[in-house]
Amino acid sequence: MKIANKINLSFSIVVVILVGIASFTFYTIAKTNLEKAIYAHLSTTAQSRANHIETHLEGVKARLEILTESNLIEDTVKKIIHNGPDSKESLQNLDLILRDFAKAEKEAYELFILNPDGKIIASTDERHIGADESGEAHFLGGKDEVYIRDAHYSESEEPEYSISAPIRDDYTKELLGILVGEIRMTYLNEITTDRTGLGKTGEIYIVNKYGYMITPSRFKEDTFLKQKVDTENCRMSVAKYPQTHTGHGSVDIFQDYRGVMVLGAHEDIPEMQWSLLAEIDEKEALAPLAVMKLIFIIIFCTIPAVIWTVGSLLSRIITAPIHKLHKGTEIIGEGNLDYKVGTDTKDEIGQLARAFDMMTSDLKGSTTSIDNLNKEIAERKQAEDTLRSTYEELENANHGLKEMQSQMVQSEKLASIGQLAAGVAHEMNTPIGFVASNFQTLESYVDKIKKLLGMYGELTNEIDTLGKSELLNKATAIGKSREDMKIDFVLEDIQELFDDSKEGLDRVTDIIQTLRDFSRIDRSGSLEKYDLNEGIKATLIVAQNEIKYDADVKTEFSELPRILCHSDQINQVLLNILVNAVQAINSRQREGMGAITIKTYAADSEVICEISDDGPGIDPDTLSKIFDPFFTTKSAGEGTGLGLSVSYDIIVHKHDGKLLAESTVDKGTKFTIKLPIAVKERNEKKEIKNDGKKNSIVCRR
Amino acid sequence: MKNRSRENIFISLYQLFVEEHWFRMPMTTYKHMQRGIDKQKTWFSCLILVILLFCGCQKRPEEAQLERVNIAFQQWVGYGPLYLAQERGLFEEEGIDMVFLDEQLDSARRDAFKQGMLDCEAGTIDLLISKRSQDTPIVAVLEIDRSMGSDGIVATEDIKTVEDLKGKKVAFARDDVGETFISYLFHKKGLSLDDITIVPRKPDGAWLAFLEGEVDAAVTWEPWLSKATQRPGGHILISTREEPEIIIDTLNVRDDLVKDNPGLVKGLMRAWFKALKYCREHPVEASEIIAKYYDVTPEEYREQITGLKWFGYEEQIKEKEANQWFTTFNVISEIKFTNGRIPRKPNAAKAINRTLLEGLYEDSQ
């Protein structure tokens, strides 16, 4: 949905709802107030009319009562009763009185006097004299007290009501007769048909206790005792239940006897059991409301249209710059950075437009720098390529270096092996030498024995063929040869030769065993229990050849606990240090032999081996570098410079130990190897962990 | 859904009215609506709001109107169940808005009947006779009660028999039940009303005349009969206990109502029988409701009604009762006519209508 429509719709809905609620509230309040006013007016009117009617009735009643109480009437009636039909004069008087009274009482239709038996003795209408009224209500009701007979038709079909009052003897209270006045409804009709303040449709009428109209209707003809009024207003005024009946009040809009909706009020006239009803048509009464309703409906209908129009204008004002902006973005999006939205408005959208324009110019500026940037990027890319190739070269170089390093380590190893081989060869030379010489001797001895054995063989073959002498000669010759060949000595010497050779071979075997122990050919790679003293001994044997011409080795072994380690690696370290020591001693021109002292002892948690020499010592500068790889003091080609570096790696990194060098120039150097007794498993683990990761020289081995 | 939060209220309204099936619509319409839901939801909700606003302004329809029926009767304990029926809404159940009118004078009732303003009355057969004899268009449709001790003559100590009344001042209402009762008694004893001094009183005034010592005897009925005996030496000389067939009360309805609106009359009759049933089943509660209308205590009321008998529907439709109505009607007609109280003897067949009674429950509801 467009913003414009959204604004419009929300605007319209809110306004329509508000207007609706406001209209409804106003209408309801206005209606309530208007109705209240109408009810009040109707009630007041009904009340005043009812009062008027009551007063009128009271008046007529009172006048009749006064008449009955007058002595004139009393005496006249008495005379008539006592004298019977003879009292003509009295009857004439009575007629006169009645006529006079009737003249004064304009509404009176007929006045007559009944005797106690119910017969008319005097009347304003002579025709009725003598009629029997004993069965009539005005007679029966009027005997004891003043009685008002409800509205009814007179003889001549005229609406009337009648009031009867007893005429009594002043003293005896004896009933002398009954005065009956039949009164026309005209005055009551006048009161009810007075339309003052009732507008065009308002009316007031009286309903008797049976629910029938007794005064004229404004709208219908001939309603007297014929028009039944069974409306809510009338029902409210009927004293059906004395508890709830109030006698007066008003009724909300209801249907009247014509079926028209009206507003009404009612007022009782209790004496007559009449209800006076005041009603007005709803249409007329609530006409102002209808106008109001119309106005509200018009407002209700027009407001959305107005709102829609205003909303459309408003939203156009709001959305126009937005549209402009939108257009601008599209144009700029197509690449035209010179376009300017340009709006003068001071509101937020104006700000936005200006910011947008600023952004566009910034964008333009940055587009130029982007070109430069691109150039720079290209250059950097090139540099990066160069760098990459350099890196690759370096990588290759590194790789070569690593390979070289590995070769170097290999050659160091080979050097060790060379040393080892030289030592071993020398050691084995002596025993092998005399075993070889013994074999030469043995060979000659065996030849002699072979010769002798051949002679003996010939003799044996010729025993049968030759004679005794010949045999004897031959035997003598053989014995002589045996003596010549010193066979007896030979046999003795053979035993000695074998013993010597056996000793020589044992020594070779020992050396080979030592060599195996030293290099741990069979158990290489895993931790094993190791006696440092034994290791030193084996190393000394291996290094014998190197040492023996230059130095005396003095060992001071203490009893050591066995430790867990890679024995071949430790041996390699020992050999390395020893050989270094010998070479150091050798480098010092001296007369006698140098001295190497090897001392072992156990401290708290470690075994310690100190190897000291009395060589030239190392100056502090050099000392600090001796464990660096490739550092060497020897001339090129003589050493790899890796010996001590590897040793350091073995002791410190692989065994958690310490390798220390102390030196005093001209006095000598002391290397101390400290190995923990409880070589922890973690060493093993660490090694495994490091394996393959650390491109150390050691690992490559 | 672009802007949910703003449309939320409309959506929920829409769901309330359509998706919750407040009113049903064909599935195709529903699907169609689902498709165009975005726009339609908003408009639909607006529409609903407007409709609701308009509905709120409308008035509720009026309830069904009851038909007004005017009834008038004298004060007589036998009519008590009428008050009960009114208070318990039994007339309303039959669609009748019953209006009780205070009209003690029989002549006034006659006039009102003739004018067509009074619809029905409860009254004795003798009054029915006098009204019928004056061409009052009413007809008896059911028996209300029968006096069996509740009507009577109160007299001073020295009056021991009906004959003793000779020459005494007796108060009663002329052309009313009292007159009928005493006329009947005198007729049986061969006496005439001329043998006594009649002190005419209004129906509710005779007993007072006796109580205040104005007269030697009075013909009256409950609730005044018992009250009148409070005069020192006052006693009940004779009552309908000894003459139970003579005072029968009937429900009399205007002829044209019976003819034109028999349903309404039947409703009226059914309400009466319902009230009777209640009185029989709940005598104490009934007396509590009714007693206040007679200005007596429930106990007093229960005491007073021992002098009368109400006949239920089953008893009334019996042949015997029908005959009794006619017999009484004719006997009293005869006496009244002989005494010159009525101009002519009315036709009992026209004054009594039993067809509604017999078919009372045939077409109910």
Whole-complex ipTM: 0.74
- Give me Rg for the CA atoms of chain A: 79
User: Which residue from A16, A141, A225 is facing B117, i.e. has the nearest CB?
Assistant: A225
Cβ atoms A536, A571 nearer than 8 A = no
Measured in angstroms, the CA of A209 and the nearest CA of chain B are apart by 7
- B70 in reach of chain A (CB within 8 A): yes
User: Which residue from B6, B67, B99 is facing A238, i.e. has the nearest CB?
Assistant: B99
| pLDDT above 70: residue A694 | no
Alpha-carbon distance of A401 to A216, in angstroms, equals 137
CB contact under 8 A, A235 and B68: yes
Which stretch of A193-202, A277-286, A679-688, B275-284 has the lowest confidence by average pLDDT? Answer: A679-688
Backbone angles phi, psi at A654, to 5 degrees: -90, -20
pLDDT of residue B250: 94
pLDDT of residue A410: 66
User: Which residue from B62, B100, B117 is facing A240, i.e. has the nearest CB?
Assistant: B100
User: Which residue from A1, A149, A273 is facing B2, i.e. has the nearest CB?
Assistant: A1
- Residues within 8 A of B (CB atoms), A 321-380 only: none
- Chain A partners within 8 Å of B112 (Cβ): 210
- Chain A partners within 8 Å of B129 (Cβ): none
Which of B70, B83, B344 would best serve as a mutation to test chain A binding (most A beta carbons within 10 A)?
A: B70
Residue closest to B240 by CA, chosen among B300, B182, B279: B182
Alpha-carbon distance of B49 to B60, in angstroms, equals 19
- Percent of chain A whose pLDDT exceeds 70: 91
User: What mean pLDDT, rounded, does chain A reach?
Assistant: 82
Alpha-carbon distance of A327 to A639, in angstroms, equals 83
pLDDT of residue B19: 47
State which residue of chain A sits closest to B117, comparing Cα positions. Answer: A210
**B327-363 pLDDT, tens per residue?**
999 999 999 998 888 889 999 999 999 999 988 887 6
State the pLDDT confidence band at A24, using cuts at 50, 70 and 90: confident
Cβ atoms A254, A37 nearer than 8 A = no
pTM, 2 dp: 0.58
**A445-484 pLDDT, tens per residue?**
888 888 888 888 888 888 888 778 888 888 888 888 888 8
Measured in angstroms, the CA of A347 and the nearest CA of chain B are apart by 25
Please compute the mean of the pLDDT values over residues B211-233 and round it to a whole number. Answer: 89
**A380-426 pLDDT, tens per residue?**
999 999 999 988 998 888 888 888 777 776 666 666 667 667 767 77
| pLDDT above 60: residue B33 | no
Half-sphere exposure (Cβ direction) of A178: Cα atoms closer than 13 Å: 29
Alpha-carbon distance of B9 to A10, in angstroms, equals 12
| pLDDT above 50: residue A589 | yes
In the chain, the amino acid numbered B305 is: I
CB contact under 8 A, A149 and B108: yes
Alpha-carbon distance of A593 to B152, in angstroms, equals 177
| pLDDT above 90: residue B279 | yes
Alpha-carbon distance of A432 to A506, in angstroms, equals 10
Annotate A75-135 with DSSP letters as a single string.
HHHHHHHHHGGG-HHHHHHHHHHHHHHHHHSTTEEEEEEE-TTSBEEEESSGGGTT-B-TT
Cβ atoms A211, B68 nearer than 8 A = yes
pLDDT of residue A684: 47
State which residue of chain A sits closest to B2, comparing Cα positions. Answer: A1
Q: How large is the angle between the packed helices B4-14 and B37-57, nearest 10 degrees?
A: 60
Q: Centre a 10 Å sphere on the Cβ of residue B164 and count the other Cβ atoms it contains.
A: 15
CB contact under 8 A, A235 and B97: yes
State the pLDDT confidence band at A119, using cuts at 50, 70 and 90: confident
CB contact under 8 A, A24 and B49: no
- Chain A partners within 8 Å of B46 (Cβ): 13, 16
Alpha-carbon distance of A322 to A590, in angstroms, equals 104
Cβ atoms A671, A573 nearer than 8 A = no
Tokens representing A71 are 């002595």
Cβ atoms A615, A597 nearer than 8 A = no
Contacts of B346 (CB under 8 A, 6+ apart): B129, B132, B133, B333
- Percent of chain A whose pLDDT exceeds 90: 15
- Residues within 8 A of B (CB atoms), A 568-607 only: none
Measured in angstroms, the CA of A240 and the nearest CA of chain B are apart by 6
Measured in angstroms, the CA of B66 and the nearest CA of chain A are apart by 10
- Residues within 8 A of A (CB atoms), B 330-359 only: none
**A246-275 pLDDT, tens per residue?**
677 877 788 889 989 999 999 988 888 899
Tokens representing A485 are 């060949």
In the chain, the amino acid numbered B278 is: Y
Which stretch of A590-594, B59-63, B155-159, B168-172 has the lowest confidence by average pLDDT? Answer: B59-63
- Residues within 8 A of A (CB atoms), B 89-128 only: 97-102, 105, 107-108, 111-112, 115, 117-118
pLDDT of residue B6: 45
CB contact under 8 A, B97 and A230: yes
**B143-164 pLDDT, tens per residue?**
999 999 889 999 999 999 999 9
State the pLDDT confidence band at B32, using cuts at 50, 70 and 90: low
Please compute the mean of the pLDDT values over residues A229-256 and round it to a whole number. Answer: 74
Which of A10, A35, A210 would best serve as a mutation to test chain B binding (most B beta carbons within 10 A)?
A: A210
Alpha-carbon distance of B147 to A655, in angstroms, equals 138
CB contact under 8 A, B3 and A210: no
State which residue of chain A sits closest to B10, comparing Cα positions. Answer: A13
User: Which residue from B101, B130, B175 is facing A210, i.e. has the nearest CB?
Assistant: B101
Tokens representing A599 are 């001392």
Who wins on pLDDT, A280 or A368? A280
User: Which residue from B6, B174, B205 is facing A144, i.e. has the nearest CB?
Assistant: B205
Half-sphere exposure (Cβ direction) of A407: Cα atoms closer than 13 Å: 6
- B60 in reach of chain A (CB within 8 A): no
- Chain B partners within 8 Å of A18 (Cβ): none
Alpha-carbon distance of B71 to B59, in angstroms, equals 34
**A61-76 pLDDT, tens per residue?**
998 888 888 888 888 8
Pairing, β A159-168 against β A175-184: antiparallel
Contacts of B45 (CB under 8 A, 6+ apart): B9, B10, B11, B13, B14
pLDDT of residue A293: 84
Please compute the mean of the pLDDT values over residues A509-519 and round it to a whole number. Answer: 76
State the pLDDT confidence band at A331, using cuts at 50, 70 and 90: confident
pLDDT of residue B216: 93
Please compute the mean of the pLDDT values over residues A96-109 and round it to a whole number. Answer: 85
State the pLDDT confidence band at B96, using cuts at 50, 70 and 90: very high
- Chain B partners within 8 Å of A150 (Cβ): 108
Cβ atoms A691, A699 nearer than 8 A = yes
| pLDDT above 90: residue A344 | no
**B285-318 pLDDT, tens per residue?**
999 999 998 888 999 999 888 888 999 999 898 8
CB contact under 8 A, B107 and A17: no
Cβ atoms B101, B72 nearer than 8 A = yes
Measured in angstroms, the CA of A137 and the nearest CA of chain B are apart by 5
Tokens representing A273 are 């059991």
